[in-house]
Every structure is written in C-alpha cells, then in structure tokens.
Structure 1
Amino acid sequence: MEVEERKTTMEIRRVVVAGAGTMGQQIALQCATHGCEVVLLDTAQAALEAASARLAVLARHVADEPVFAGADVESAAAGIRLTTNAAEAASDADLVSESVPEDPDLKGRVLAELDAVCPARTIFATNTSSLLPSMFAAASGRPDRLAALHFHQPVWAANIVDVMPHAGTSEETVSSLLAFAAQIGQVPIHLRKESPGYVFNAMYNALNREAMTLAANGVASIEDIDRAWTTVTKMPNGPFGMLDHVGIDTAWHITDYWARALGDEQLARNAAFLKGYLDQGRAGVKSGRGFYDYSD
C-alpha cells in the first residue's frame, strides 16, 4: 500500500498587504492582477485614501504593459479592499505581506497584532529591504510561518523576489512562498540563509551609501554624481534619480536605523542629508519633488 505524500505547499489566494505606502500599493496590485483576493490594511485612513487614488492612477498608467496582457488592471485595482480594521482584513487570510517602515520593533508589533486575528494557517511575509526576519520572528507569534518575501519596484517589471527564511522557518512556508511568487508573475530567488540586503539590495545599498556619502560630504553635486553614473553605465537614471522613485523617506528610514544600530558617523551624516529633503516636503516622485522636480 502506497503512503500518500504529505502536502508541503499551501495554496495562497487571500492576501492581506499591511502598509499602504508605495510598495504596499504595488504588491497589492500585482497580487490582484494575478487572481488573488487582496485587502490593503493601514492604521491611517488618510493613507488608505491616498493609496486608493494612487492605485487608480497607477492602474491606468500600467494597463498596457506587456506583463499585464490579458488582465483587466483597472478592475483588479478597484477590487482591492481597503481597511483600517485588522480583524476584518485578516480573518481568512492565507498570507500577510508586511510593508511598514524599517524598524524591527514596529514590524514585530504589527505582526503580533495580526497574529492575534489571523488563522493558524496564515503565512507572514516581510517585505523589509534591509532587516532580517529573525529580528522580529519571535515577536510575530509564529516564527515557523515567517520569512522574507522581498519585492523590487516597479514590482511588475523588476520582478525578482527574494524568499529568505530565518533559522526557524518551516520548509512548508518556504515552498509555499516560492510557489506563490511564481504564481503572481515573479521570479523567486531562494536565499539559503539570512543575509542583510538580500541579493540585489546588498549591491544597490552599497551604491546608495557611496552616492549619499559623496553628496553629504560636499564632494560633488547630486546632479554630477548622477551624471557620472548614467554616462559611464548608460543607465537612464543615476542613484539619486532612482532614490526619488524608491522614496527619500524609505531611504532615510533605512539609513537612520543602521546609523543608530551601528553607531556609524558617516551613515548619521547621510541620514541627516536625506532628512533635510524630507523636512522640505521632498519625498521623491510621490510628493512631486525630491532630489529633482516632478511637478509637471
């Protein structure tokens, strides 16, 4: 008599995206256009209202992208539910994808609150771009069902996703996330152990640090730093142009956290340099101005 093979992959159809910022919006849209039921959760009603407006604009903008051929992007975006009620959002979730600011204590608190209202089966995924899942695995309440599922932006075009477990992540969680990544049109990279910055960001963060250091130390202007990069590499954007798309607020959160965690004086100067733009309301493309002006 044959023994039935144990199922090691859970099908993911109901997705809660916690955090309605730029990455949360893009992850929600990617999941919705690939047949998932999606809820976008945030503690601030104003953030959800801004996300709703941005999703409508985004859907129109990307509707003709080849990667969305055959999908009704505008209908998918309109079908994303938005709420501030965690219990309502997560009561039947298969997956929670967390995209809150880069602070391990905050991430731990958010996941702990969701742990209290999610079914036991729900997998928790963090989209952190620099932290490690083990930093808040215990606080999440379900360390065996937590791993990093780290997206890049724009999610539909830069469709590499890092799947990075920590030492306590179950094999079923890893296999489920790898399968889910492929299901929503991503190319999964399976990291065999925890490593800061994952794969692309480990290289990208090094570029950003050096570019910010040059500007913060007054070595060259942001325009000339970008000009050096684009002229030599023939890439369309330099590091500061790219950071405008990422969001200067996101870059500041990451830089400020590691400056404090490591006691790194240069990172502290870089964080102060970024904060100067944020204090002027210049967060990047999403605010109309960042290192460059996007008001038109």
Structure 2
Amino acid sequence: MLGTGVLGSQIIFQTAYAGKDVVAYDINDEILAKLPARWEQLKPFYLRDLPDATPESLDAAVSRIRATSDLAEAVAEADIVIEAVPERLDIKRDTWQKVSAVAPENTIFATNSSTLLPSDIVSAVDRPSKFLALHFANEIWRNNTGEVMAQEHTDPAVFEEVARFAEEIGMVAIRVKKEQPGYVLNSLLVPLLDAAATLWVRGVADIDVIDMTWRKATGAPLGPFQIFDVVGMTTPYNLNKDSSDPVKREFAERLKTDYIDQGRLGVATGRGFYEYGD
C-alpha cells in the first residue's frame, strides 16, 4: 500500500483484517511512526460497526501489517500495489514510475485516485495491461464498496482478478463499465459537496444550516460538511486550490487558513468543521 493517510491507512487495516499480509509504505519514517496510533483509533469503529470484530481479531490484523519507507522493499513481494498518494497527477505519475522500476513483473498496479482517470496515469507505468483503478469509500469497513475501473490497455483477466481481490477483503465489487471521472460514487457525491461549498463561500447559509437542511430534507445521515470531515480537508483543498473557478479557489483558501493550518483536518484529528469526541 503506497500512502498511509486517512484512506490509505483504512485500506491497509481492512486488508489485514481480511487476513492478508500488508506492507505499508510512506515517504519517511516519521509518518510511519504514527501508524500504531492510527490502528488504535480504528479499532473502536470496527468493534462498534462489525459484529464479528473482536479485540483479538483486530490485534491479529495489526500483526499482519509491516511498515517501511524503502519503496523497493515495500513492493518486493507484492501481488498487488494500491496507491493512495496525494491527488495530484504529477505526484501519482512520479510514484508509479518509481514503482515500475522496482516491482516484480507479475505485480498488479491499482490507483485509488478519486478524480483522475487511470488513462491519465498509465503512461507512467511499465505494464499497461496490469494497471487500473480500485477506488474505496471512506470508512471502508462499513461503506464497503470497491469500484474497479479499467483503461483501454487493461487485461480483462486482471480486471476480474482485482474485482475478486476487492471481494476477498470484504468489499462489494463495483465493476465500472467504462472510464468515468469520479467513478460511480464520486460522480454522485462531488456535485453535492461542490454545491455545499458554494453556498458557504457565497454566504447563502452557514455550515450547520446547510448540513441540517440536507439531513432533514433527504433523511441522509450526514450533511455535506460532515462528509468533508470524514474525507479530511487535504483532498478537497488539493482538488480546488488551482481551479479556474474563483469560488472553488476561495473555498480552498478557507480550508487552508481556517482549518488545515489550525490542525483541524476532520474526523481523523478530532476537529474539522465540527468537534469530535472519543
């Protein structure tokens, strides 16, 4: 697993919980040193949401995780490499070029990119037939979808192998029939989040009012800003900071100044648009 942020760490833990050995890679040991605390944060959610989770099964999951900042070591014996690095095309391409240079020939490559198409990235890999997208939703242990999306060079057998892998780690495999920015989930979700951000930036309504309106009128369990807190502030910031839309750029600036710079990164840090307890 490349990347140990909010979603990357969830993918790591869920895959290990499903019984597979996982190597967690990130760019330095300082980042990796935070992982044990992340596992302790995730355990109560598994105990709350999954009837079969026990302290023993969660400890066993942790025992199947190994962390390293050495990329060659991380992928040396990998059957599949899943990438969840920051949502920037240059970073993703650079990452996959480096992985291609050290990964075994049989290794399958999968990007978890939320907005970029696999065809945007495939030129950076040395095995186009084994490259595709595998996208997860946040809170992966209960929002358990795995969207599988190929690009034109993906071997159909690899596509099915990745779909089976998704099912093996407890996901409902969503076979996306053609490339679509945002897959199925984010094609539905992103317009909602963009509309909420616009309402806030333009001063139409306050955050709590926007969320309450959506919950009351639709019966949804979370409002859009609560969803932002689950996703974390970094992803929407990166997606909006260079936008040609001035409203989206202002939204990113507010995220940076009022939230990211203040350590309010969302549910993962206990503070975002809202405050969260234990």
Q: What is the TM-score of this pair, normalised by structure 2?
A: 0.94
Which segment drifts farther, 132-141 or 50-59?
A: 50-59
**Partner residue of 1:285 out of 252, 267, 274:** 267
Cα distance between partner residues in 1 of 2:238 and 2:52:
32
The match for 1:107 is: 92
The match for 2:239 is: 254
Matched, 1:184 2:166: no
The match for 2:276 is: 294
Aligned residues with identical type, % of pairs: 39
Q: CA deviation at 1:60?
A: 4.2
Secondary structure of the residue aligned to 1:149 is strand
The match for 1:274 is: 255
Cα distance between partner residues in 1 of 2:112 and 2:248:
22
Q: CA deviation at 1:227?
A: 1.1
1:61-76 matches, within 5 Å, as: 61-63=45-47, 65-66=49-50, 68-69=52-53, 72-76=57-61
Which segment drifts farther, 247-256 or 58-67?
A: 58-67
The match for 2:15 is: 31
Q: CA deviation at 1:153?
A: 1.6
Cα distance between partner residues in 1 of 2:9 and 2:53:
20
Matched, 1:19 2:3: yes
Cα distance between partner residues in 1 of 2:153 and 2:101:
20
Q: Is the 8 A contact 1:60 1:73 kept in 2?
A: no
Q: Is the 8 A contact 1:21 1:51 kept in 2?
A: no
Matched, 1:174 2:186: no
Q: What is the TM-score of this pair, normalised by structure 1?
A: 0.88
Cα distance between partner residues in 2 of 1:110 and 1:167:
21
Q: CA deviation at 1:112?
A: 1.2
Q: Is the 8 A contact 1:67 1:157 kept in 2?
A: no
Cα distance between partner residues in 2 of 1:64 and 1:295:
15
**Partner residue of 2:145 out of 146, 160, 163:** 160
Cα distance between partner residues in 1 of 2:107 and 2:200:
44
Q: Is the 8 A contact 2:110 2:131 kept in 1?
A: yes
Alignment RMSD: 1.7
**Partner residue of 1:264 out of 245, 268, 277:** 245
Structure 1 residues 189 and 61: alpha-carbon distance in aligned structure 2, compared to 1, 3 A threshold? closer
Secondary structure of the residue aligned to 1:125 is strand
Structure 1 residues 102 and 47: alpha-carbon distance in aligned structure 2, compared to 1, 3 A threshold? same
Cα distance between partner residues in 2 of 1:44 and 1:237:
35
Secondary structure of the residue aligned to 1:289 is coil
Q: CA deviation at 1:68?
A: 4.0
Q: CA deviation at 1:64?
A: 5.3
Q: Is the 8 A contact 1:20 1:42 kept in 2?
A: yes
The one-letter code of the counterpart of 2:142 is: A
1:122-133 matches, within 5 Å, as: 122-133=107-118
Matched, 1:242 2:227: yes
Q: CA deviation at 1:141?
A: 2.2
Structure 1 residues 57 and 281: alpha-carbon distance in aligned structure 2, compared to 1, 3 A threshold? closer
Cα distance between partner residues in 1 of 2:145 and 2:88:
23
Cα distance between partner residues in 1 of 2:142 and 2:277:
24
Q: Is the 8 A contact 2:145 2:171 kept in 1?
A: yes
Q: Deviation digits for residues 215-255 of structure 1, max 9, x if unmatched?
A: 11111111111111111122232110111111011221122
Q: Is the 8 A contact 2:82 2:112 kept in 1?
A: yes
The one-letter code of the counterpart of 2:256 is: K
Cα distance between partner residues in 2 of 1:102 and 1:47:
18
Say how many residue pairs are matched. 276
Q: Deviation digits for residues 24-73 of structure 1, max 9, x if unmatched?
A: 11111111111211011000222211122111331244135436458812
Q: CA deviation at 1:88?
A: 1.0
